[in-house]
Copies of this chain bind each other. A is one copy, B any other.
Amino acid sequence: MLKAKIFVELKPSVLDPQGKAVTNSLHNLGFEDVSQTRIGKYIEIVFDSSDHEAVSAEVTKICDSLLANPNTETYRFELVETKS
């Protein structure tokens, strides 16, 4: 079985209001040396397959069609062997 670890992030040019809110909260909590925060998604998908090439193509399709918004987000992923 293969596990895909997928990171979906906002493009650097896209404003991240949620990240800005976290930065402000951290300043209010006294963490003054925080200069920037960006919030993204981390998704793990387990596949009943051990074919790296096929799963890799599948994950690309999944990200393009469901997990990432191509207008505002970028994604990257890695595949690891897993037992469950």
Contacts and interface: CB of A to CB of B under 8 A. Distances in A.
A53 interface: no
Contact of A43 (B33, B38, B47, B65): B38
Kindly report how many copies of this chain are found in the complex they form together: 2
Contact of A29 (B26, B42, B66): B66
A39 B41 contact: yes
Given A26-B66, A66-B22, A40 B41 contact: yes
A47 B66 contact: no
A13 to B, nearest CB: 14
Interface of A: 1, 7-9, 22, 25-26, 29, 31, 33-49, 58, 61-62, 65-67
